[in-house]
Amino acid sequence: MNRSEFTLAQWLSWMEASHPVAIDMGLDRCRQVYDSLNLSFEGVTVITVAGTNGKGSSVAMLDAILQAAGYATACYTSPHLSRYNERIRFNSLLSTDDQLVSAFNAVDQARGNISLTYFEMGTLAALWLIAQRKPDVALLEVGLGGRLDVVNLVDADVAVITTIDIDHVDWLGDNRESIGREKAGIFRESTPAVCGDPAPPNSISDYAQLISAPLFQVGQDFNFTHETNSWDWSGADSKKQPLTYTNLPIPSLPLQNAATVLQAIALSGLDVTESDISRGLTVAKVAGRMDCFAHNGQQYLLDVAHNPQSAQYLGEQLAKLKKPITLVLGMLSDKDCTAVIEALVPIVNEWHFVGLSVNRGQTADQLKACWEKANKPQASDVPVCHHDVSTALAYLEQRAETKLIVVAGSFYTVGEAYAALGRDVI
């Protein structure tokens, strides 16, 4: 069958099978295809967002605030929870199958004999779609690292780093300095950059100084304080003129990321008022991040926390609820499962481990072994192992007790939970 006749499902299957490895670091192949596509982002304000955690929530808040200000937006994020279409959105609307098929056809024709990974093909397709659509603002989430990520083919008007933590050690290094340098690769000469990590590695500021990129650092160049029901922000614009916003609404997403987002907007040259910011913060949300809802008499909270830093944040938020916690956890084998479990041990009352059938998925028994290593359990502690997420949720729903059921550990785990509960992701 000719690929020009492929459906979206056929394209995705072909992309998964067409390249021998899932991650192939380096931009040489992608740059050749990008140049062949001859894409132009003239007239589009581009903001790239890198970081270990907080990328998705930062893009969501940027998107909501800028739409509130009247701008047409495009967002590219990854991975998806349920449908590939989630990855590319225009004014919050998912890309259509037809749009994605057209984009994959364009990239396929431009690549010639160059082999591309699933992610590379998808990112180039996203850039093609956005270049065709010409929104006012393009918000691009970096997939892995920064320096060698396909998104970094585009020169951003503002580059954002949210947080730095140990993750993807096989590709980015096993220390914060090396990871920070990889992520700082999205910076551009004499172009503003924002860092929202309160204790960043020196490699970030060192690289910014090397290329004369003005770096705005939380705790130095911008700050925030909060009360119970509101928060205040202070920062500066690109000319270092002071800016302040007071009595802003508390968003449902992390406040540290919200503060970073406001600094990025201040540097973007876009016309955004305090009222726009308040309206955007009020409505901004991300599927799979602290998503709390009721289903069949049970309370659920779904969160894609999958590394120690995000697990620590999840644990802190759950502790505030002062409720017994039942955790359904499924993770990938290349994550620090023991450290994630250690972060959650103090607040979880009941553990349920699930296997993931995807490539790199941990089995429930492997997670139980990590739990035993992290928890030094007593004889009375007996976690339950399940084949998959749907089995675990069915088991829990049959019981009479009504506790808060938390599902976490990966995008795959949360995506399967949405499907098992018959709940739309967006």
| Same domain for 370 and 231 | no
Do residues 271 and 409 both lie within one domain? no
Q: Is the CB of residue 42 less than 8 Å from the CB of residue 141?
A: no
Q: 242 and 375: one domain?
A: no
Confidence of residue 20 (pLDDT cuts 50, 70, 90): low
- Burial label, 126 (beta-carbon count in 10 A; 0-12, 13-18, 19+): buried
**pLDDT (0 to 100) of residue 405:** 96
What tens digit of pLDDT does each residue of 302-356 get? 999 999 989 999 999 999 999 999 999 999 988 889 999 999 999 999 999 999 9
Answer yes or no: do 257 and 315 share one domain. Answer: no
Residue 267's pLDDT is what? Answer: 98
Same domain assignment for residues 231 and 298:
no
Q: What is the pLDDT of residue 75?
A: 98
User: How much of the chain exceeds pLDDT 90, in percent?
Assistant: 79
Residues 257 and 278 in one domain: yes
The answer to whether position 406 is within a domain reads yes
CA distance 338 to 361: 15
Q: In which band, very low, low, confident or very high, does the pLDDT at 23 lie, cut at 50, 70 and 90? A: low
Only one residue has tokens 């910014």, namely 208
Q: What share of the chain is helix, strand, coil (3-state, %, to 5)?
A: 40, 20, 40
Does residue 221 lie in a domain region? yes
Does the pTM of the predicted model rise above 0.75?
A: yes
pLDDT in tens, 186-202: 999 999 999 999 999 99
Contact 360, 333 (CB under 8 A): yes
pLDDT digits (tens, 9 = 90+) for 184-242: 999 999 999 999 999 999 999 999 999 999 999 999 999 999 988 999 999 999 888 99
Please give the mean pLDDT across all residues of the chain.
92
102: left (phi over 0), alpha (psi -120 to 50) or beta: alpha
Q: 239, 262, 283 — which closes off a domain?
A: 283
Based on the domain organization, do 254 and 305 belong to the same domain? no
The structural domain count of the chain equals 2
- pLDDT exceeds cutoff 60 at 173: no
Span 390-396, average pLDDT: 95
425 lies in some domain? no
Residue 95, domain member (yes or no): yes
Contacts of 417 (CB under 8 A, 6+ apart): 300, 302, 328, 389, 393, 407
Paired tokens of 50: 């890198």
- Contact between residue 325 and residue 350 where contact means Cβ atoms under 8 Å apart: yes
Q: 247 with 309, same domain?
A: no
Residue 346 lies in a domain: yes
Residue 426 forms part of a structural domain? no
Higher pLDDT, 54 or 20: 54
- The answer to whether residues 313 and 195 belong to one domain is no
pLDDT at 373: 86
CATH of the domain at 205: 3.40.1190.10
Residues 252 and 386 in one domain: no
Position 380 pLDDT exceeds 70? no
Residues 309 and 217 in one domain: no
pLDDT, residue 228, reads: 87
Share of the chain above pLDDT 70, in %: 94
Identify the pLDDT of residue 379.
47
CB 353 within 8 A of CB 371: yes
Last residue of a domain, one of 225, 250, 283: 283
Checking if the pLDDT of 160 tops 90, the result is yes
The residue range of the domain holding 340 is 291-420
Lowest mean pLDDT among 107-111, 174-178, 241-245: 174-178
On the question of pLDDT at 172 being above 90, the answer is no
**Residue 24 binned pLDDT confidence (cut-offs 50, 70, 90):** low
Q: Do residue 332 and residue 395 come from a single domain?
A: yes
Per DSSP, the residues of 278-345 read: HHHHHH---TTSSEEEEETTEEEEE----SHHHHHHHHHHHHHH-S-EEEEE--BTTS-HHHHHHHHT
- Backbone φ, ψ for residue 411 (5° rounding): -65, -35
pLDDT at 170: 52
CATH of the domain at 399: 3.90.190.20
What digits encode the pLDDT tens for the residues 276-290?
Answer: 999 999 999 999 999
Residue 70 resides in a domain: yes
* Mean local confidence (pLDDT), 138-145: 89
Last residue of a domain, one of 250, 283, 316: 283
